[in-house]
Structure 1
Amino acid sequence: MASIVQFENVGLRYGTGAEVLSDVSFSLGKGAFYFLTGASGAGKTSLLKLLYLAQRPSRGLIRLFGEDAVTMARGRLPGFRRRIGVVFQDFRLVQHLSTYDNVALPLRIAGMSEKELDTPVREMLAWVGLAERADARPPTLSGGEQQRVAIARAVIGRPEMLVADEPTGNVDPDMAERLLHLFDALNRLGTTVVVATHDLHLISRIPNARMMRLDRGRLSDPTGELRFPPGAPA
């Protein structure tokens, strides 16, 4: 399987503090599905930030889509980021835009016309159960509804890689299953998916997914082949 991401001996520290990630090395196969697990504070969010280019490492090599992401000129980063869909823990919706316009934003940035984007946006809103909330703005939505808007926005453009940080933490179990099915369907279309989660039930729903576990800033299974027995702590 061709690799879409390679990390080699990557370390990350914020300021002068201790490293939050140490000697992290792994590859992500193109079109594969990964779950990233680990205790709170293990470094999952920091690792995801490196994946979607919000943070540069303190040391080590990161190759993304075949190019060196560490030395890449800042002017090229926005174009690379458009190839990555991101679901943030804090949603990061544009507060003055409607649900429809938040979801349509990536397609507009990509240059799609209003006529072309209307159908896919409305179909996506229906899929995540927000068709009747298309005109609502984020401050009027519940946490779970905002999470669904954030996920719809992240996947609407069929990104080459999807990175999701605890994407089902604010929705009920039925909606969590539905959203995971959406990630799985996107993965089957060729998108590499990386989901950080504590939810063992969700992990069990994607039997072919690979597992990566962080333990105090170190990757305990860099091959991505780790499997957790039922009831094991995530």
Structure 2
Amino acid sequence: MNQSVSGEIVQFDNVGLRYGTEREVLTDISFTLYPGSFYFLTGASGAGKTSLLKLLYLSQRPSRGGIRIFGTDAITLPREKLPALRRRLGVVFQDFRLVPHLSAFDNVALPLRVAGFSESDLTRPVADMLEWVGLADRMQARPATLSGGEQQRVAIARAVIGRPQLLVADEPTGNVDPDMAVKLLRLFEALNRLGTTVVVATHDVHLLRKVPESLIMRLDKGRLSDPTGALKYPPRRPVMPV
């Protein structure tokens, strides 16, 4: 269900965001994300990471500035066309947002069913993904019976199962042990090497060293800095065809 994208996958131009009459939580945000790149978004609590991710996965519109995603102007796009654009995204939310009445298997299968996959075509990929994240014995469990770490792994499996063009993850390793955190990062890396652009928001500086080819964007009081040239340069390795 993935599609090839050349050039820029995301473009922010002087974006600002405020909620109501409050001061701006994001100010003059400009950057470009390229296909096949892996980005860490860092910053202290309250720096604006989650707000920036909301703009990236199209749940929030900016107060000013321009945003283009997959070559489409996300500001002027009619609301009825947003779902089609969102289907090209994978999102890992901090609060998981699993469907409570569905099993782990059915939560992970949901993106494939929405995309029109038959049951025979989705059964093996979903089972393999749940096995990869260590939940082979919990496939039929509902979210309420899962621990926080298990729910997090289901949420990640659901986000990556359809090989999205852009994966946005908000603190995806916050509820798992260090060994599982590294395993999940390896899953993101594998997806990235198939062409998916990955953005992982984290306050854990130790994770930054786990993906050597990653680029770092740092938020400080709503403003973005660029310690590794992440905002200016395309990926340093060729993107595999998808």
Give the TM-score category using the shorter length. over 0.9
Q: Distance in 2 between matches of 1:37 and 1:199?
A: 8
Name the structure 2 match of 1:142.
147
Q: Distance in 2 between matches of 1:122 and 1:202?
A: 27
Q: Distance in 2 between matches of 1:99 and 1:26?
A: 36
Q: Report deviation, 1:2.
A: 2.1
Name the structure 2 match of 1:232.
none
Q: Distance in 2 between matches of 1:113 and 1:225?
A: 40
Equivalent residue in structure 1 for 2:169, among 155, 164, 172 = 164
Q: Distance in 2 between matches of 1:112 and 1:201?
A: 38
Name the structure 1 match of 2:87.
82
1:28-67 matches, within 5 Å, as 28-67=33-72
- Cα deviation digits, residues 94-143 of structure 1 (max 9, x gap): 00000000000000000000000000000000000001000000000000
Q: Report deviation, 1:204.
A: 0.2
SS of 2:105 mapped into structure 1: helix
State yes or no: 1:224 paired with 2:230.
yes
State yes or no: 1:213 paired with 2:213.
no
SS of 1:122 mapped into structure 2: helix
Is the contact between residue 32 and residue 231 of structure 2 (CA under 8 Å) also seen in structure 1? no
Taking every aligned residue pair, what percent have the same amino acid on both sides?
Answer: 73
- Amino acid aligned to 2:115: A
Q: Report deviation, 1:201.
A: 1.9
State yes or no: 1:91 paired with 2:96.
yes
Q: Report deviation, 1:67.
A: 1.1
Name the structure 2 match of 1:199.
204
Q: Distance in 1 between matches of 2:205 and 2:225?
A: 18
Q: Distance in 2 between matches of 1:219 and 1:70?
A: 21
SS of 1:24 mapped into structure 2: strand
Q: CA RMSD in A?
A: 1.2
- Amino acid aligned to 1:129: G
Name the structure 1 match of 2:128.
123
SS of 1:7 mapped into structure 2: strand
Q: Report deviation, 1:3.
A: 1.2
Name the structure 1 match of 2:11.
6
Is the contact between residue 89 and residue 164 of structure 2 (CA under 8 Å) also seen in structure 1? yes
Q: Distance in 2 between matches of 1:153 and 1:36?
A: 21
State yes or no: 1:106 paired with 2:111.
yes
SS of 2:25 mapped into structure 1: strand
TM-score by length of structure 2 reads 0.92
Q: Distance in 2 between matches of 1:57 and 1:71?
A: 11
SS of 2:96 mapped into structure 1: coil
Name the structure 2 match of 1:230.
none
Name the structure 2 match of 1:229.
none
Name the structure 1 match of 2:3.
none
In structure 2, the gaps of 5 or more residues are 1-5, 233-242
Q: Report deviation, 1:225.
A: 6.7
In structure 1, the gaps of 5 or more residues are 227-234
Q: Report deviation, 1:77.
A: 0.2
**How many equivalent residue pairs?**
226
Q: Any runs of at least 4 consecutive aligned residues in structure 1 with deviations exceeding 3 A, and if so which? A: none
Q: Distance in 1 between matches of 2:19 and 2:230?
A: 26
Name the structure 1 match of 2:194.
189
